[in-house]
Amino acid sequence: MAESNLFLRMLAEKRFLLADGATGTNLFSMGLMTGDAPELWNTEHPEKIAAHYRTFVEAGSDIILTNTFGGNRRRLVLHQAQDRVEELNTAAVKILKDEIAKAGREIVIGGSMGPTGDILEPNGPLSIAEAADIFEEQARALAAAGVDVLWLETLSSKEEVEAAVLGAGRVGLPVVNTLSIDTNGRTMMGLTAADIIKLQPSLHPHPIACGTNCGVGASEVVATVLNFFNAAGEEQEPIIVAKANCGIPEYVDGKIVYNGTPELMARYVELAMDAGARIIGGCCGTSPEHIRAMRAAMDQHVPQEKPSLEVILRDLGSVSKGAQAQLAGDLSVEGGSLGGGGRKRSRRA
């Protein structure tokens, strides 16, 4: 597969890959309203989706994610579109393929797959088997349309990661999974960076890469990358994905805006590279302007030592107590983190 699959080939050829920026927040700037389903724009406003993709092509992204984050039937039922999974996912990929064809260079198409929106058993009503079927349906549509990699993102629980990888893995394409660490060094459902790393070998098929996206800002993401490698030890050499929000959200003139500057995101790229991440991009609030600065930073970066906590705090901003505790090797609840080994929490901390 490595020779024929563009994602695997680019990973083999390049030390670092630049992913894209935000989808939702950039579509809001084009007129998407809160509560609307971005995926419906794949057929209702294809010219806007094409323009969105084009900005990241021009900004220099090596990987661009499709506008399909909520394109599974469990999410689409909220918009009476649960029977349009194949149509909407196919349309998103076709638009992106057309834009890449005009670019004159190779760009990986990542089939974005977000969570179902439900809590899985034993804490919720959705079984792993049913969730896997939901992910498989979307994955098959994305694969048939021509994506290079199935990109599972913004997950939070062990059970949903297992279901998502199981369902997407049935299709035969490379799989990536990233979780959102947004609750004092943990995901909403209690997983630490160490838990995420320890989970990967048990997943079938084994994901090509794992990491973190969204969360609470660039500083937390770089700390999390360090914690991934601290947990991996010498026996694992994971390919880590870092896709940080562009600073911190603020409410300005009736709108949510992110305070991260292109300069901050460029510095984030440098620190994420030094921390060990190989695929780096932006999440909420990250515009093409930010990605252009990140492209330049990646291309010009001279490798340095792994960043210390002091450097992260100085250059990017605050880091949660839980993430700091993990950096110091403290995985205890008292230290602000979750006990190791992937222990499951029944409720949000």
Within the chain, residue ranges assigned H as helices are 6-13, 24-28, 41-44, 46-59, 73-76, 85-101, 128-145, 158-169, 193-199, 218-232, 262-275, 288-300, 309-315, 321-327
Helix axes 46-59, 288-300, angle to 10 degrees: 20
> In terms of DSSP bridges, do strands 63-65 and 209-214 run parallel, antiparallel, or are they unpaired?
unpaired
Query: For position 58, what pLDDT does the model report?
Result: 98
- In which residue are the tokens 């930010």 written? 290
Q: How far apart, in whole angstroms, are the C-alpha atoms of residue 94 and residue 87? A: 11
Distance of CA 10 to the CA centre of its chain: 18
Distance, in Å, from the CA atom of 336 to the CA atom of 121, rounded to the nearest integer, reads: 26
Helix (H, G, I), strand (E, B) or coil at 250: strand
> What does the alpha-carbon distance between residue 293 and residue 183 come to, in Å, rounded to a whole number?
29
pLDDT tens across the length of the chain (349 residues): 666 999 999 999 999 999 999 999 999 999 999 899 999 999 999 999 999 999 999 999 999 999 999 999 999 999 999 999 999 999 999 999 999 999 999 999 999 999 999 999 999 999 999 999 999 999 999 999 999 999 999 999 999 999 999 999 999 999 999 999 999 999 999 999 999 999 999 999 999 999 999 999 999 999 999 999 999 977 778 999 999 999 887 877 777 788 899 999 999 999 999 999 999 999 999 999 999 999 999 999 999 999 999 999 999 999 999 999 999 998 876 676 554 433 333 222 2
pLDDT in tens, 101-147: 999 999 999 999 999 999 999 999 999 999 999 999 999 999 999 99
Question: Residue 96 in contact with residue 146, Cβ under 8 Å?
Answer: no
Supply the pLDDT for residue 337.
58
Instruction: Give Rg (Cα) of the chain.
Output: 19
Q: In the prediction, which pLDDT does 349 show?
A: 26
Question: Rounded to an integer, what distance in angstroms lies between the CA atom of residue 343 and that of residue 292?
Answer: 40
SS3 content of the chain, % helix, strand, coil (to 5): 45, 15, 40
Residue 89 confidence (pLDDT): 98
Which residues contact residue 237 at a Cβ distance below 8 angstroms, ignoring those fewer than 6 apart? none
Distance CA 239, CA 200 (A): 11
Residues 6+ apart with CB under 8 A from 45: none
Give the amino acid at 263.
E
- How many C-beta atoms surround the C-beta of residue 244 within 10 A? 33
Those residues whose C-beta lies under 8 Å from the C-beta of residue 104, and which sit 6 or more positions away, are: none
Q: Which among 289, 292, 294, 285 is positioned nearest to 258, based on CA atoms?
A: 285
pLDDT, residue 234, reads: 74
State the pLDDT at residue 82. Answer: 98
Pair 219, 319: CB distance under 8 Å:
yes
